[in-house]
Amino acid sequence: MLPPQLLAPAPVERACRSAWDEVSSATLDSAEQAAVAALSRWLDEPELPYAILHGPRPSRRLIVAAHLVRAQREGTAYAAQLVPLGPDLRLERDLIALLVSRLLADYGGGPPRRLRAQIAEEHLRVGPTEGEPSLLFAITDVEEAEPLVSWPALFSAVGPRVKVLATVEGDEAAARTWIPRLGFDPARTRIHPLPARPWPAPGDPAALLAAAGAARAGLLGLLACAYGRLREDEITTSLGTSIEGALIGIEPLVTAIDGTYALRWNAARREVEERLDRSARETSIRRLLSLPPDGYPCAYARTHLEQAAAPFQAFAALVTEEHFAHWMARPEGYLGFVADLERVRRHAVEALPAAHDAVVLAVRTALVEASVNSYTRREDHDAPVGVEPMTRETPLADKRQQAKALTALGAAMAAGPARAEVLAWAEDAARRISEAEFRGDVFLDLGDVVKGEAGYAFAREALAAFRTAENAEARAHQMLVVTRGLPPDEGIAVAREALANLRDGGGDPGDVDCFSKRFPRAVAEALWPDAEALPGPSRARVLAALAGVLGDPDRVRAAFAAVEQHIEPYGLQWHWTLTQLVPLLDAPEARRAAALAPQFGERAAELFEGLIPRLRALGDPAEDLLEALPEASRVRALARSLPFAAEPARLRARLDEAIRKVEPRERSGFLFDVGPWFAATGDSDALLAAVGPLSEGGFQSALGFLAHHDPAHAPEFTRRALPLALRLGADEPDRLLDLVPLARYFPPEGAAAALGLLLDALASEYRRAALAGDGVSLVRLVPLIAALAGDDGLAGAAREVVQVAAWFP
């Protein structure tokens, strides 16, 4: 056998070596030679990428497949790989490890689902590059694989120079049932039979089992029920006797390699298993799972739980520090542990929505996996696949993300002891944030959640943290931010201090406009005289910002006059300042603003799009401004005028006509430009009709977008968008994530499915991103957890944040 590009874990390599040893001693009969010849001809049929070789139980399908692989390896046309399912190679993690070791020379570590995707997309669907030989995979005895192996994810589409052969026990009907399970295309699959073959004497399992004594029957039962090869010490522990005595009389059925034992053929294993009565089978499994937890139970307890259809709570024992430590001492290492996490999470999600506490276990598995990702470093590309060195010398240092996640979870809960406990955990994490600025941010967020005197106390702590900033301008900006959480008198004093610092050389006082929207009204009122005393341009910018908070017509006019006096052509800051004032202007000022707009060149259209609805709301139809706009800007301006329309029907007709003038392929863009205003007036359906046909993904995005802006239609649009987002969500989780704020409208089954997909995405992140990142993070999943499991689920998720952080500090 040619050496692999990367070593697979020892059990996987052992399984392959055992299979090749069996092949090397086998001579093909005439029917088997004919099968190899037929499959060799299949390799020359480019329109048939798939083949299934089937036959009754004693037929030697593995032998035939291996001879085909060997023949191709001796040539140059195919890079052939044998995937011999059986002892040590029955679980998905083992199959993935084998394929990775043969295909991904640049493997850098990763969870099984990423490896599946990489193999499927980069190697099987694309196929070999020019100059490389074609690929042949021969996967034998697929019925030996655990029931939940994700075959279709790998083989549903293969490239033009990729061939996949599977061998199956049974007749042609049985072979055909495997076609969809493997993800093969029925129209492109060759099916070839093998005839029956007698058991090699004296290898008939039924006869040997019938004649076996208690010890020999016990050994056969263990080997038939085990999912992997058993070590000699595990067998002697289980049976309470030496293996030599148990082997007497059944040696032809058993193969020994590297001090491990298994039944020689998969067919023999199934023959023995089928002859075990329920009591014998249960006794064998009990003995296997009673072995030391760092041995057989570590690798296979999860699979036995699945076969027993155990409740999801039973799987929680696989998400512990002890189980992780056992895995990392084994050859399969990280790959095996993460495979367990994936399956445990799947079982927890399957228990939803009936079992709300399953949310907590699902969250735990995702956070543990993200934590393992953060500690894992691939250092040696000659190391076995799945065995990555772990270093915990450097803490993860994500106290800020922990605090943010805990704050978000607590904020969504109803007042009470559970919420107080979660927020106390958030406070504890916040106090351990080393960076003062980040600590201040979290304290301020906590203050926003708890309110009252406790909120003021957090805001004061935030202020104290912000005052330590070395940069005077940054310090002043942070002080302006904190005013929102302080009592009015303290907020006023802090805002005045910050404004004075900026005015006296610590930065541009005009930058107050970046923070003013969060000012309490009392702070804005108090700062007005201070703003009037500022020098020219800064005075105009701050007055405009404060007028936006106060909304008082006289102050709006005063601010606009100051802006008129100091505005600078093409200045982006001034464009922004004027845009913020537009919704508050009276008719004369709005017209004067329209006269200023051309100074901003190409950005003038944005100002007109805001000015036209304001003028129309004030009774000025602004037709002259509309006519001067390009078509796209005109549509946006008219749509923004909908809430103020005296005759909505006429305006909708005009909009419909304008949209239809646009090229069909460009119309969908208008939906996102004008959707909020159509939705606000209940015209979402009219907009969808005007835009015309959309792709499935475009339609889902449109429904989700409109649901956020149209309260009346939000439940309906969300329910229509969710199935589409779920269909696309595995590859595009952002589609689901965009719908999560509307999770209260999800049907229970849809909410459970969404949580499963999104937690899978979260688990693939590093922990800090998984807690409070911009992508799929726990913070952003809060509405979904609340919809599925209420306050108990939120509190449980918060508890997992704390416990997993203690596990992986």
Mean pLDDT of 777-793: 98
The rounded distance, in Å, linking the Cα atoms of 262 and 228 is 8
- Summary mean pLDDT of the chain: 91
Give the number of other CB atoms < 10 A from CB of residue 270. Answer: 18
pLDDT value at 441 more than 60: yes
Contact 142, 168 (CB under 8 A): yes
pLDDT tens per residue across span 20-59: 888 888 899 999 999 999 999 999 999 999 999 999 998 9
pLDDT value at 147 more than 80: no
pLDDT value at 3 more than 50: no
Give the pLDDT confidence score for residue 1 in this predicted structure. Answer: 41
Q: What is the DSSP letter of 376?
A: B
Helix (H, G, I), strand (E, B) or coil at 212: coil
Helix (H, G, I), strand (E, B) or coil at 261: strand
Q: What is the DSSP letter of 252?
A: G
Give the number of other CB atoms < 10 A from CB of residue 322. Answer: 12
The rounded distance, in Å, linking the Cα atoms of 386 and 384 is 6
For the whole prediction, is pTM greater than 0.75? yes
pLDDT value at 741 more than 80: yes
The rounded distance, in Å, linking the Cα atoms of 131 and 708 is 52
The rounded distance, in Å, linking the Cα atoms of 725 and 732 is 8
pLDDT value at 246 more than 80: yes
The rounded distance, in Å, linking the Cα atoms of 733 and 757 is 7
pLDDT tens per residue across span 468-492: 998 999 999 999 999 999 999 999 9
Backbone CA torsion sign across 462, 468, 473, 474: negative
Residue 202: cis peptide before it, omega within 30 degrees of 0 = yes
Most confident of 89-103, 128-142, 263-277, 786-800: 786-800
Beta 162-169 vs 134-140: how paired, if at all? parallel
Tokens representing residue 35 in the block: 């099968």
Alpha carbon of residue 16 to chain centroid: 33
Which helix or strand (DSSP H or E) is residue 337 part of?
Answer: helix 333-350
Give the number of other CB atoms < 10 A from CB of residue 480. Answer: 26
Q: Which residues pair with 190 in a beta bridge?
A: 51
pLDDT tens per residue across span 635-680: 889 989 988 888 888 888 888 888 777 777 777 777 888 888 888 8
The rounded distance, in Å, linking the Cα atoms of 448 and 454 is 10
Task: Please report which confidence band the pLDDT of residue 119 belongs to, taking 50, 70 and 90 as the band edges.
Answer: confident
Q: Could you give the percent of the chain with pLDDT greater than 70?
A: 96
Site of tokens 């259209």: 605
pLDDT value at 4 more than 70: no
Mean pLDDT of 139-164: 86
Task: Please report which confidence band the pLDDT of residue 110 belongs to, taking 50, 70 and 90 as the band edges.
Answer: low
